[in-house]
Amino acid sequence: MFHALIINQNEARQQSCTLSQVEESQLPEGDVLVEVAYSTLNYKDALAITGKGRIARSFPMVPGIDLVGKVLQSDSERFQEGDWVLLNGFGVGEMHWGGLAEKARLKSDWLIPLPAGIDAKQSMAVGTAGYTAMLSVLALEKQGVTPDSGEILVTGANGGVGSYAIRLLNRLGYQVVASTGRMAESEYLKSLGANDVIDRATLSEPGKPLQKERWAGVIDCVGSHTLANACASTKYGGVVTACGLAQGLDFPASVAPFILRGVKLIGIDSVMRPLADRTEAWQRLSELLQPEDFDVISQEITLDKVEETAYELLEGNVRGRVIVAL
């Protein structure tokens, strides 16, 4: 028996979440059994746990899109008992039982070895948020955006992706402007490396299809009008990456920035990303991040505190990353 957070749904499609004891035989199919050391609480996890988003595709479901742990059993040639492995995405916590449990049975194709230079707890301080931020930074780099190109806008800056994006960009020498709805957190954002902090209200309302050019690049975690305005104010040849939808799924924009200014809009998917991209991103994370970064951007809770923290996260009362110790 082991502990797991279980989401169920009744006939009226009402969800409930309970901390339960589970038999190992109840775990879904997979060729690697992992003893989970740490998981995380992401925005997507919070939507699943609270039922405010239709994230879980079947029931019962163990949420948790991230995990790190030690291999207990393996039928895969890629991993042996005792190996430390890392997982982000691949529908885990949505269609396959996830990381908010003391054990997980997974497909080896979803796993990568824990990178050298980052320990288990640090990897979950990074989690999908930091990994997505790194994918976004890599996209800017590969499109030729350099520190000399100009200012980089990061929206949703107080969240996990935003916090790591600021830190990573700062480590690489970029000039970063952070957009946030919590201006009281300005000093925190500047401590991460933001050169300036602006109120999200300057971007979150309907705007003109073309606006004054400012940004050489954008890492957008918000979507909707914020993303549209970011594109409208990106400089000629600039690059905008989109990885979030906190404001909404809609994109009320014009094609003008893309045709008249040659702006590039790049979608950042972290869920189904090929293993080669994952390995590259995690290698860069291990090179760029310093030990002090993990504590500044994260907090640790236990499994019994996950549900209440999920509600706080959706209410905008959680800063940075939440690590769950199993």
| Domain definitions of the chain by residue range | 2-114+290-325, 129-267
Query: Model confidence at 303, in pLDDT bands (50, 70, 90)?
Result: very high
Mean pLDDT along residues 235-244: 97
Average pLDDT on 272-277 reads 94
Which residues, 6+ apart, have CB-to-CB distance to 290 below 8 Å? none
Instruction: Note the pLDDT tens digit of each residue in 183-209.
Output: 999 999 999 999 999 999 999 999 999
Q: Which residues contact 22 (CB under 8 A, 6 or more apart)?
A: 1, 2, 3, 4, 6, 101
**Confidence label for 13 from pLDDT (cuts 50, 70 and 90):** confident
- Identify the band that residue 283 occupies on the pLDDT scale cut at 50, 70 and 90: very high
Task: Enumerate residues 6+ apart whose C-beta is below 8 A from 95.
Answer: 57, 58
Confidence of residue 296 (pLDDT cuts 50, 70, 90): confident
Residue 220 to residue 209: CA distance in whole angstroms: 17
| Domain 2-114+290-325 matches domain 129-267 at the CATH topology level | no
> Is the backbone peptide bond immediately before 113 cis, with ω within 30 degrees of 0?
no
Q: Write down the CATH superfamily of domain 129-267.
A: NAD(P)-binding Rossmann-like Domain (3.40.50.720)
pLDDT at 317: 86
pLDDT in tens, 160-183: 899 999 999 999 999 999 999 999
Whole-number pLDDT of residue 160? 87
- Checking if the pLDDT of 322 tops 90, the result is yes
How far, in Å, CA of 143 to CA of 138, rounded?
9
Q: What is the pLDDT of residue 12?
A: 87
Q: Are strands 32-40 and 66-74 parallel, antiparallel or unpaired?
A: antiparallel
The structure's pTM equals 0.92
Model confidence at 98: pLDDT above 90: yes
**How do residues 54-72 score in pLDDT, each as one tens digit?**
899 999 999 999 999 999 9
- Provide the 10 A C-beta neighbour count for residue 25: 5
Q: Which CATH class is domain 2-114+290-325?
A: alpha beta
Contact yes or no for 65/42 (Cβ under 8 A): yes
